[in-house]
Amino acid sequence: NLPAIIAPSILSADFACLGQEIKDVLNAGADWIHFDVMDNHFVPNLTIGPLVCEAIRPHTVKNGQPACIDVHLMIEPVDAIVPEFAKAGANLISFHPEASTHIDRTINLIKDQGCQAGLVFNPATPLHYLDYVLDKLDLILLMSVNPGFGGQKFIPATLEKLRATRKIIDRYTAHTGRTIRLEIDGGVNPDNIGEIFAAGADTFVAGSAIFGKSDYTQVINAMRASIAN
C-alpha cells in the first residue's frame, strides 16, 4: 500500500494571499497542492491557469523539496494548455476523458512534457475509459461531487466505485509491479475520510474541510488519525 497523500485544494484558499496559504498548509502537514483549473465551459466556474501555477511554484517547498503540484484540468479542449502547465512547473496533470477527443494522445502529450498523467472520472462517468490506457497512467482520480465548486456533499455511490477501481489497480499492480495512485476529490472531511480510505483511496483532496478551518494542522492531523497512516 502506498503512503497516504493529503492534497489540499487551493480552490478554497484565500487567493489574496495564496503563497502564504500554500506555505501554511504544507507546514501543517499537507503533502501535495491540488490545483483546480476551470474554464466556464466544461464546468460552470472559472478559476486559475498556468500563470498562477508558475507564481506558486516557489512557495511549494516542503522539507527542502518541491511538493507536487497536482493539476486537475476541468477544461475543454485539453491539449493546448498541457505544455503551458508543464512549463509553469506542474508535476502531475489530470484531465477528464469527456474533454479530450483523443485520450491516448493527451496522455502521451502530458508524459512527453515530463509530467505524470492522471485520468479523472465524474460521478456518473464509467470506468471503461481505463481499458486501454491503464499502463500509461500514474493516477486515477474519482470525483465524489460534480466538478465546478468546492464545499459540496460527498456522493455516497462513489464508495462502490472506489472499491471497483481499487480492484482494477491491484490486479494491474500484481501483474506489472507498477503502482497507480487512487485519488478522491469532493466533500472529503475528517468524518468521512475513514470509510473513503477503507474503500481503497490513497490520495485525498480536501478544499473546504481544510481551508474552512483556522487551524490547518488540526484538520490534517484529524484526517491522518482517521486513516491511521
* Contact set with ligand DX5 (CB under 6 A): 9, 11-12, 34, 36, 72, 145, 147-148, 150-152, 185-188, 205-209
- Nearest distance, CB of residue 226 and ligand DX5, angstroms: 15
DSSP output for 28-78? TT---EEEEEEBSSSSS-B---HHHHHHHGGG-EETTEEPPEEEEEE-SS-
Q: Determine if residue 149 is labeled as part of a ligand binding site.
A: yes
Kindly state whether residue 185 participates in binding Zn ion, applying the rule CB under 5 A. Answer: yes
Sequence-ordered list of residues with C-beta below 8 angstroms from that of 27, at least 6 positions apart, any chain:
217
Q: Determine if residue 208 is labeled as part of a ligand binding site.
A: yes
Q: Determine if residue 177 is labeled as part of a ligand binding site.
A: no
- From first CA to last CA, the distance across the chain in angstroms is 11
Of positions 31, 36, 70, 202, contacts Zn ion by CB under 5 A: 36
**Number of residue whose CB is nearest Zn ion:** 72
Annotate each residue in 55-74 with x if it binds Zn ion (CB under 5 A) or - if it does not, as one string.
Answer: -----------------x--
| 36 assigned to active site | yes
DSSP output for 144-180? SS-TT-SSPPP-TTHHHHHHHHHHHHHHHHHHH----
- Nearest distance, CB of residue 142 and ligand DX5, angstroms: 11
Q: Determine if residue 49 is labeled as part of a ligand binding site.
A: no
Distance CA 36, CA 72 (A): 5
Question: Using CA of residue 148, residue 4, residue 33, residue 103, what is the dihedral sign?
Answer: negative
- Which residues are bridge partners to 61 per DSSP? 66
| 135 assigned to active site | no
- Nearest distance, CB of residue 135 and ligand DX5, angstroms: 26
| Contact yes or no for 9/34 (Cβ under 8 A) | yes
* Identified catalytic residue from 31, 70, 138, 185: 185
The residue length of the chain stands at 229
Q: Determine if residue 186 is labeled as part of a ligand binding site.
A: yes
- Nearest distance, CB of residue 146 and ligand DX5, angstroms: 8
186's contact among ligand DX5, Zn ion, none, with CB below 5 to 8 A by partner kind, is ligand DX5
Cell numbers given for 139: 493516477
Kindly state whether residue 183 participates in binding Zn ion, applying the rule CB under 5 A. Answer: no
- The residues that are catalytic are 36, 185
Give me the residues that bind Zn ion (CB under 5 A), please: 36, 72, 185
| Binding site listing | 9, 34, 36, 72, 148-151, 185-187, 207-208
| Binding site listing for a divalent metal cation | 34, 36, 72, 185
